Amino acid sequence: MTLPVAVLASGRGSNLAALIAARAAGELPIEFTLVAGDKADAPALRNAEAHGIPTFALEPKSFAARAEFDAALFANVKASGAQLVVLAGYMRILDPAVTAQWTGRMINIHPSLLPKYRGLHTHRRALEAGDTEHGSSVHFVSAELDGGPVIAQVRIKIHPRDTEDTLAERLLPKEHRLLVACVGAIARGRVCERNGQTWCDGRPLAKPLQLNTDGRLAGA
């Protein structure tokens, strides 16, 4: 049995590409119902079309308020039959009315070890803080920016000569594997959200799962 998934993206869609590749390789028991976003010319949408996935885009400036835009966008997501929404480089803050309707059924990938560095410029902020490690997190989406319960994380060491670019370059492939692993865990019924907490294999998580070098999720 496959899980119907919609993906929202605003840019190049490298995380979407990782999901498409994993599904094609038989690693993910999912079907893509829609790839949607806020930029009609986003490469992510072109990639989806090339793989026969339906796409949809709306122009935010056509709406008087964020709530109206989100309501229209997610009406299409719902109509697609999606049971899980994956925010994969989607660069807009969602209206609380939408996040409430999709509680436990929407996840986001964020390039930091949450709760550190919510928002933008995470690589720069990690370097400026003198951190010795950095990483990415996948979390259930809540009304709070990058604040929902974390499912899993992947960590990398920060090298003395790292720049924002080198840090981002080394992290991105691991970020892809992390997202694939988390979507797979949800699709197989291993991971869910209950009462604002992440559960795995029938138990609440005290700490986020960690991505191992073999691409599997394990307890911290």
Structural domains in the chain, CATH included, are 3-218 (3.40.50.170)
The arithmetic mean of pLDDT across residues 204-213, rounded, is 96
110 is catalytic: yes
pLDDT in tens, 115-145: 999 999 999 999 999 999 999 999 999 999 9
The arithmetic mean of pLDDT across residues 23-30, rounded, is 97
Residue 138's nearest CA partner among 100, 111, 99, 103 is: 111
Residue 165's nearest CA partner among 124, 108, 193 is: 124
Structure token pair of residue 4: 């119907």
pLDDT in tens, 67-98: 999 999 999 999 999 999 999 999 999 999 99
What are the Cα distances from residue 35, in Å, to 50, 82, 178, 197?
12, 10, 20, 27
Q: Report DSSP state, residue 129.
A: T
CB neighbourhood size of 163 (10 A)? 12
Positive or negative torsion for Cα 7, 26, 198, 171: negative
The whole-number pLDDT of residue 8 equals 98
Structure token pair of residue 21: 């590749």
Q: What is the enclosing helix (H) or strand (E) of 74?
A: helix 66-79
Selecting among 110, 134, 139, 176, the annotated active-site residue is: 110
Residue 62's nearest CA partner among 94, 34, 39 is: 39
**Main-chain dihedrals φ then ψ at residue 151, nearest 5 degrees:** -90, -55
Q: Is the pLDDT of residue 220 over 70?
A: no
The whole-number pLDDT of residue 1 equals 86
Cβ(80)–Cβ(6) below 8 Å: yes
Quote the pTM value. Answer: 0.97
Q: Cα–Cα–Cα angle for 17, 140, 72, nearest 5°?
A: 75
Report residue 219's pLDDT band, with 50, 70 and 90 as the boundaries: confident
